[in-house]
Structure 1
């Protein structure tokens, strides 16, 4: 359940607008969401830093085959987690009435759904493992998917915290869970547990997080089944559940296909690259998703103008943040892999170069899915991900057989850019969101990304020293170029003035 000071005031803060206008409504919701987002980003930053350190340790305790077996189990677990609660979390967050009215029924539905799915995957675990090319993954799948039982039991309480923008409590619960996961995983790995070290570490961490979520939420859910209420929840939740289930396929089909076609060792290289490409979606994307659904749900209660205005501000901002990371990972992948994990993980670099494209698209489509869900357009989210999945599966199969793990990564990136992005734009347009103003706002980030990529690649060819030097010189210069192009000069001057003001007078 992986669940600041000095921030510049936004346009909403500067101009609150007249009471009742879309701008004033956005201002109030924006302040609540901003607080939740800061806590989410802070928590994710700490957890990702901890996960990164843990991955460095595990890369030296385990072999690529262990990562490959874990990747297969993770694919099963991640697919289950997307459909685990039958859409109850999202339905609870956007519920228009009192939480107490629907909580007992929602709790029963979520627990029933998660239990049924766990039993199903316990039975089919051997077949899933064999399909993925590693029978040894069966037991790991059965342990890791038990995490989703905990998620089902705490679904309504997690949703209550999100609904109230109490991301600080979720963040604290997740951090405690990680403090359990990390030592358990490392200790088991050091004692020869192999892929099971991941599974048991995550399960015990999820239990610790779940206990705190129940305590923090302070919601009396009870148990009960109101059939009309259950029907209303499922009418909203099931299309979104299908959407997220397809999203699970999108994120994990490559593990099954690569494992079956190329074996656990190649899959281990692929998983390492995929994990690196998921750092930003895990850090920024998860934090954004914690606040996007409740924020746009509140805006959707007002009118579509409020939603459109929110989208026009959110999309360029998010893209501006993720593009430079995508450029650096894509252009300096060999240096990133060598510096962080050593030369023996070198084959992962050819995968990371292309998965960086997928990372950017994933961030944007995830935001679109949350916006559409907040507007109640859950069927549109289903068709978006279904179209993506239909194109992706054959692309992965062909790519893996033609060019190994590199071919699978290329297939993933091409389908994301050529199929998923246009479908996301079409879905937003059909939902009534005004997108035209976004086009001009994207010009500078896209230009900055292109110029930054060219500069980084040229410097990487010239600077052939250690990976660290390549990252510092080529990556640092590329990032600077991006900032100079994308960030307005007035903002840069203002930041420069603040930095200068921090320097003691004697030093100037």
Structure 2
């Protein structure tokens, strides 16, 4: 076992946040290049997942199997939010030679992930029964092997993120998708049901681990330094807690729907939620692969950070609003056309979930920004408040209005309570309401115009493919006219008074 060099003091074990790099221009080019690769990667993979989901829903799996899969996926995502105790972010966030403390990060991440999986393995039968899917036990046990694999992959994957190596990451993710999807489809058509998702996920994650290890050679070395471990845990545990709360917030609706409505209704809800996640995953995931590292580099320059956050939010909202409006306004014909009439009950929840998806995109970017500026306590409080308010609302809403009620309850809490709290936290971090309004104003106006066009044209043009394309084209044209005045802002033309991060000497 390789032992990392012991620091001279505990302060040495906790490096300062990463600096801005050799120059603002070079840094900006690096971020833009990484963002392009990340967007291409995410779009290609999500389109592939979209096509795979259509094939499985139409020809291999029914709502009950999707319900079991939804439970397993939910549990997995919650566990992945904190399986490495938050210490993996130190590879991205801290300055200096990350390879010096990487062995301790790898040891902590692997141990915590392994212990978490052992606990899940023992609790799987009770957890499946509690969530309304007693048949999910073995699926949970297999799918959550990804927790251990992800724990090992945190360090090499963190180095790729730190270095903005999204081109390499695209190749790795493509290999993950091809192998994992091939296994899932093969097993699904052989009658494995929801277990096909679990085995495919494990195979894909093994490919990712191997790929990250090869792309970041020398990073899979175990070691231990007590001072580094203490510093890492002080840094990571608050982030892990906030991250787990964030994932619990997003996924508690699945748990409530499964426990109160049964696996068939849960299957409809999972499909609707997955559709609503298309814009979130395509746009937000691409941005988040570079946003945390980018915000971290700007954290010590408040003016540049505020402008960077505003511009990033503007780009995300501008790209997401038209997708959300189209999927919300054309929910039923889209679901029938893509998945078949047997899935039409899912369409009723979709408009509300699209609104939730738009809120999620903004809140996730705010989350990354607040982490970068060190407001971990605020994040923990925001996520805790969100979860505490959400659970009773969802339980009541599910009993009153089924899966539609669950969707409505989510939007009520997120829009009425959480968004204002996030705005207050951002303002305390130096990002005022004016910058946020500037980022969202034109896209929201365009979204309102699109809504009027969609509602006015969907009946005359019908629900066939040609009608959907026509309505979408007209609505998108109206949206483009509305957001055209913001093009300079979105391209990154800063006002003359905006400070640019100064070049600083390399402290590594």
1:75 alignment partner in structure 2: 74
Superposition map of 1:80-95 within 5 A: 80-95=79-94
Superposition map of 1:66-465 within 5 A: 66-300=65-299, 302-465=300-463
Unmatched 5+ stretches in structure 2:
1-19, 489-508
For residues 203 and 246 of structure 2, what CA distance do their matches in structure 1 show?
Answer: 26
Single out whichever of 194-203 and 380-389 deviates more from structure 2: 380-389
Instruction: Indicate how the Cα distance of structure 1 residues 220 and 452 shifts in structure 2: closer, same or farther if over 3 A, else same.
Output: closer
For residues 281 and 227 of structure 2, what CA distance do their matches in structure 1 show?
Answer: 37
CA deviation after TM superposition for structure 1 residue 28, in Å:
2.8
CA deviation after TM superposition for structure 1 residue 276, in Å:
0.7
2:503 alignment partner in structure 1: none
Alpha-carbon RMSD: 1.8
For residues 489 and 161 of structure 1, what CA distance do their matches in structure 2 show?
Answer: 33
1:180-231 per-residue CA deviation (whole Å, 9 max, x = no partner) reads: 1111101101010000000001101110111010010123452222222112
For residues 176 and 145 of structure 1, what CA distance do their matches in structure 2 show?
Answer: 20
SS at match of 2:192: coil
Match of 1:469 among 466, 469, 472: 466
For residues 65 and 181 of structure 1, what CA distance do their matches in structure 2 show?
Answer: 22
For residues 160 and 23 of structure 1, what CA distance do their matches in structure 2 show?
Answer: 16
CA deviation after TM superposition for structure 1 residue 356, in Å:
0.1
CA contact under 8 A between 2:443 and 2:483: conserved in structure 1?
Answer: yes
Match of 1:485 among 482, 485, 496: 482
CA contact under 8 A between 1:88 and 1:155: conserved in structure 2?
Answer: no
For residues 363 and 472 of structure 2, what CA distance do their matches in structure 1 show?
Answer: 27
SS at match of 1:154: helix
CA contact under 8 A between 1:308 and 1:435: conserved in structure 2?
Answer: no
Instruction: Indicate how the Cα distance of structure 1 residues 315 and 220 shifts in structure 2: closer, same or farther if over 3 A, else same.
Output: closer
CA deviation after TM superposition for structure 1 residue 108, in Å:
0.8
Instruction: Indicate how the Cα distance of structure 1 residues 473 and 422 shifts in structure 2: closer, same or farther if over 3 A, else same.
Output: same
1:412-432 per-residue CA deviation (whole Å, 9 max, x = no partner) reads: 112111122112111111223
1:496 alignment partner in structure 2: none
For residues 95 and 24 of structure 1, what CA distance do their matches in structure 2 show?
Answer: 16
Single out whichever of 192-201 and 243-252 deviates more from structure 2: 243-252
Instruction: Indicate how the Cα distance of structure 1 residues 420 and 470 shifts in structure 2: closer, same or farther if over 3 A, else same.
Output: farther
For residues 441 and 464 of structure 1, what CA distance do their matches in structure 2 show?
Answer: 35
CA contact under 8 A between 1:297 and 1:375: conserved in structure 2?
Answer: yes
Unmatched 5+ stretches in structure 1:
1-21, 492-508
1:4 alignment partner in structure 2: none
Instruction: Indicate how the Cα distance of structure 1 residues 23 and 83 shifts in structure 2: closer, same or farther if over 3 A, else same.
Output: closer
For residues 434 and 272 of structure 1, what CA distance do their matches in structure 2 show?
Answer: 37
How many aligned positions are there? 469
For residues 423 and 490 of structure 1, what CA distance do their matches in structure 2 show?
Answer: 29
Which aligned runs of 4 or more in structure 1 are off by greater than 4 angstroms?
A: 22-26
Length-normalised TM-score, structure 2? 0.89
For residues 145 and 184 of structure 2, what CA distance do their matches in structure 1 show?
Answer: 16
1:133-181 per-residue CA deviation (whole Å, 9 max, x = no partner) reads: 1100011000011011111011111111100111111111111011111
SS at match of 1:79: helix
CA contact under 8 A between 1:236 and 1:378: conserved in structure 2?
Answer: no
1:377-431 per-residue CA deviation (whole Å, 9 max, x = no partner) reads: 2222212211211111112111110000010011111211112211211111122
For residues 103 and 79 of structure 1, what CA distance do their matches in structure 2 show?
Answer: 24
Single out whichever of 176-185 and 438-447 deviates more from structure 2: 438-447
For residues 314 and 442 of structure 2, what CA distance do their matches in structure 1 show?
Answer: 10
